[in-house]
Amino acid sequence: MKQALTYDDVLLVPQYSDIKSRKEVNIGNDLDKRWRLEMPIISSPMDTVTESDMCIAMYKAGGLGIIHRYNTVKEQCELVRKCNWGGAAVGVTGDYLKRAVNLFEAGVNVLCIDVAHGHHILMKDAITAIKEELGDMVHIMAGNVATLQGFNDLSDWGADSIRCNIGGGSICSTRIQTGHGLPGLQTIIDCAQSDRDTKSLLTEVLDPAAILLKLWLLEQILLCLVLCWLEQLNRLEKK
C-alpha cells in the first residue's frame, strides 16, 4: 500500500523575510503563451460558484472564472457574453462539441472540459474533437486527474492545461461519494514529476493558508526537478 501526504501532514517553517510590503510580491503566472493571470486563481465551473458576476469579479482581480455547463447552450452563451472575456465549461457527451463551438463564437478563450474523472476515453475523444474543430484558437483546460499517468495522458491527448486533484473540498465531494481519489498534496507531488510542458492547475476548495502551501510546495518540487536535471546533464558532459 502506497503512503501519501495530506496538507495536515506538512507545515511551512517560518524564515527570515526582507519583504516590507505585500505590494512587492508578484504571484502572477502564465496560463499559456497568450494568457497571463496576475492572480493565479481560477473559480470552479460549478453552478453554485461561477456565473457572469463571479467571472467578472475574477477578471477584475486578475484571475479567471469558468462559467458552469449546467444550463442550455443558449443560457451559457448569454452568461459568457456578459463577461466579454473568460472561460466556460463543457462535458464529454451529448452536445459538448456544439456547445464548445457556440461558446467560442460567443467569445470564450478558455474551454474547460469538466468531468469528475478526467483520465477516461471520453476525455480523449472530446479533446481530439474540439482540437480538430477549433485548433489552437482556444485554450483547452481538462480534468480532473489525480495521478502522474493521468496528467501525462491528458497532456499527450492535447490538453493545454490540466486540473489536478479530485475533491476533497468543502463543496466538491467526489472523493467522498465515490471512494476514489488521492490526497491533494500527494497529487501535486506526483504530477509535478511530469516531463510534459502542459500547465498543471491545482483544484480544491481551500483556505488562504492552504493555497500558499500549495504554491510554495509546487515551486520547491519544480526547483528540485530542475536541479536533478542539471546534475544529470553535467554528468553526461563529463563522460
Task: Mark whether 165 and 127 lie in a shared domain.
Answer: yes
Assigned domain for 60 exists: yes
- Binned at pLDDT 50, 70 and 90, residue 207 comes out as very low
Cell of 31: 496560463
Both 119 and 231 in one domain: the answer is no
Reply yes or no on whether the pLDDT at 206 is more than 50. no
Q: Answer yes or no: do 50 and 144 share one domain.
A: yes
- If one counts the domains in the chain, the total is 2
Within a domain: 162: yes
Give the CATH number of the domain where residue 169 resides: 3.20.20.70
Q: To the nearest whole percent, how much of the chain has pLDDT over 90? A: 51
> Model's pTM, two decimal places?
0.82
Does residue 61 lie within any of the structural domains?
A: yes
Q: Which of 188, 41, 191, 66 is nearest to 139 (CA)?
A: 66
Q: What is the pLDDT of residues 146-195, one digit of tens each?
A: 999 999 999 999 999 999 988 766 566 677 777 777 888 899 889 989 99
Is residue 3 in some structural domain? no
Q: What digits encode the pLDDT tens for the residues 83-100?
A: 988 899 999 999 999 999
Residue 205: pLDDT band by 50, 70, 90 thresholds?
A: very low
Residue 212 lies in domain: 208-239
173 with 230, same domain: the answer is no
Same domain, 217 and 176: no
Residue 6 included in any domain: no
